[in-house]
Structure 1
Amino acid sequence: MKKFVTLFTDSARELKSVRTITTMAMLAAVAVILGYFSIEYGQFIRIGFSGIPNGIVDYLFGPVAGAVFHGALDIIKYLMKPTGPFCPQLTLVVMLAGVLYGCFFYKKKLTIWRVLAAKFVVMLICNVILNTLCLQVLYGQAFMAILPMRALKNLIMWPIDSIVFFGIAKALEQIGLFRTFRKQELVKNA
């Protein structure tokens, strides 16, 4: 239990670093740009890769920073390219996803199995159940009418998103892009 609490306190402490904030700002810009290249199929299904920078923030800075990043980015994306009415409940669901990803990734070795597990948990809880509930309230559609196509889309995208995120994160780690954050972490803990 102490490790779990430490995970959140360390992540909250990350937000005090200028390096963290600037890195998050750069990744937010990348996420916004990637968001313009998403494919929308009706008002209930969107396929895109703007979640990759989100995952990197969760991996580098943890659940608290991830929740703040996901929430702020959701609002920024909506202001830049509104799609439908604004729904604060959807922003809270996105923030929950940041917390969940942060709990799976922060200060842990990134493996394909960890990424698959994290993506599955977020896919099931946030994308399929909670987002579908929010869309039901927002658009007045029957929950069971939109659930099957949303579940199918998420089931199809689960391994694809997992492999893409894992591959990009590992490549960035191998070229040493994350190393500066690791050194900073070691200095803080010494």
Structure 2
Amino acid sequence: MNFAHECLSVPSLIKESMKENKKVKSICGCAMLTALNVSVGALYIPISPTLRIGFSSVFAGVSGMVYGPMLTGFAGVIADTLKYMIRPDGPYFPGFAINEFLTGFIYGCFFYKKKITLPRVIIARAVITIFINLILTSLWLNILYQSPLFTMIRLIKNIVMFPVDVAILYFALKGAQRVNLK
């Protein structure tokens, strides 16, 4: 994986993935994966009021692989809103919708029309873990609750869950490739 080439290809990847937004088949398939994301997102293991373990981002990864960064990013915003409507816990905060958009967008950039390899999955998951889970989510929680105490707990949880998340995502993407969702 040539990092410079990957970064330079992102604008053309985004442009190409925008074509998916006009295909009924893509919108329906993405909607089904979003429904799975919402369903699984409602089922999580609560650790504390602000810390939970869930696996709904796997469906964002599969959607990103099949439908690209833009459609998956927009679907993430819809998924976040629906998850909140189904199971509201705390005030609605749009920062978490931004997180969901970025998660889908990042997965799309890493997986759309690319060969799924373990190093690619590890790097994609690391970017999401560091940038979204540790930095942005901690920032949003600090804005909401005015307490920086969440960061250490989130760090431990993300370190423990990283190999589990990578393994589940890798096998889900490989399985989706075999099924050929398109």
TM-score of the aligned structures, taking structure 1 as reference length: 0.87
Counterpart-to-counterpart distance in 2, 1:32 and 1:2 = 33
Equivalenced residues, count: 176
CA contact (8 A) 1:101 1:118 kept: yes
Counterpart-to-counterpart distance in 2, 1:24 and 1:17 = 11
Identify the match of residue 165 of structure 1 among 149, 169, 174.
Answer: 169
Structure 2 residue identity aligned to 1:177:
N
Asked if residue 84 in structure 1 is aligned to residue 90 in structure 2, the reply is yes
Asked if residue 31 in structure 1 is aligned to residue 34 in structure 2, the reply is no
Q: Deviations over 1:73-96 (max 9, x none)?
A: 101111111121100122112212
CA contact (8 A) 1:44 1:150 kept: no
Percent identity over paired residues: 33
CA contact (8 A) 1:58 1:98 kept: yes
Structure 1 residue identity aligned to 2:37:
A
- Which runs of 5 or more residues in structure 2 are unaligned? 1-6
SS at the partner of 2:32? helix
Highest RCO, 1 vs 2 (Cα 8 Å, sep ≥ 6): 2
Counterpart-to-counterpart distance in 1, 2:29 and 2:92 = 27
Counterpart-to-counterpart distance in 1, 2:124 and 2:10 = 16
| Structural RMSD (CA) | 1.4
Find runs of 4+ consecutive structure 1 residues off by over 3 angstroms: none
Counterpart-to-counterpart distance in 2, 1:20 and 1:162 = 25
Counterpart-to-counterpart distance in 1, 2:176 and 2:96 = 30
SS at the partner of 1:15? helix
- Which runs of 5 or more residues in structure 1 are unaligned? 182-190
Counterpart-to-counterpart distance in 1, 2:133 and 2:105 = 14
Residue 3 of structure 1: CA displacement?
2.7
Residue number in structure 2 paired with 1:177: 180
CA contact (8 A) 2:76 2:101 kept: yes
Residue 65 of structure 1: CA displacement?
1.2
Asked if residue 109 in structure 1 is aligned to residue 115 in structure 2, the reply is yes
